[in-house]
Amino acid sequence: MPREIAINNAHPRLRLDRKAIRAAIELLDRHAKRFLDGPLPGELSIAFLTDPAIARLHADFLDDPTATDVITFEGEPAFGTAGEICVSADTAASYAAKKGHDFSEELTLYVVHGWLHLAGYDDLEPAKKRRMRAAEARAVNILKEAEACPRFSWKQ
């Protein structure tokens, strides 16, 4: 049975498909053994934020007032929570434009990155960062092969 996935779109210009995002996470959850010992138990929360909003979280919880791409907060499985993934849609849009990447793919990568952090992956040291990047590639390929990458767009 799929877990509860709460999706909060706190970005005024971002359009998203909650059903597609849930389907992508459920697909990753079904393939969790490729990334960790078992599925991530409990409710998962995903928040799509602006750069100023994620910068406030970054400052409040990590003592760094700059915007960042993804912040994750571990949950408490004993209380039925897997954690929260906070992603900056602004950062994804800026990076995608600068690098010539597809915005939806970039934002999906940020969600995958957060999911992997909750699965125990870290990217603060070079060896761990290489392991994270390899896992990101595997996860994104799972989504692409299943044609399960969510589409995101901007309101005009």
Range(s) of the domain holding residue 23: 5-149
> What is the Cα–Cα distance from 60 to 155, expressed in whole angstroms?
29
Residue numbers belonging to the annotated binding site for Zn(2+): 113, 117, 123
Q: How far apart are CA 51 and CA 151, in angstroms?
A: 20
Feature table: binding site: 113, 117, 123
The pTM of the full predicted model, rounded to 2 decimals, is 0.94
Q: What is the CATH number of the domain that holds 95?
A: 3.40.390.30
| Domains contained in the chain, number | 1
156 in a structural domain: no
Give residue-wise pLDDT tens across range 88-133: 999 999 999 999 999 999 999 999 999 999 988 999 899 999 999 9
Residue 8: HSE in the Cβ half-sphere, 13 Å Cα cutoff = 13
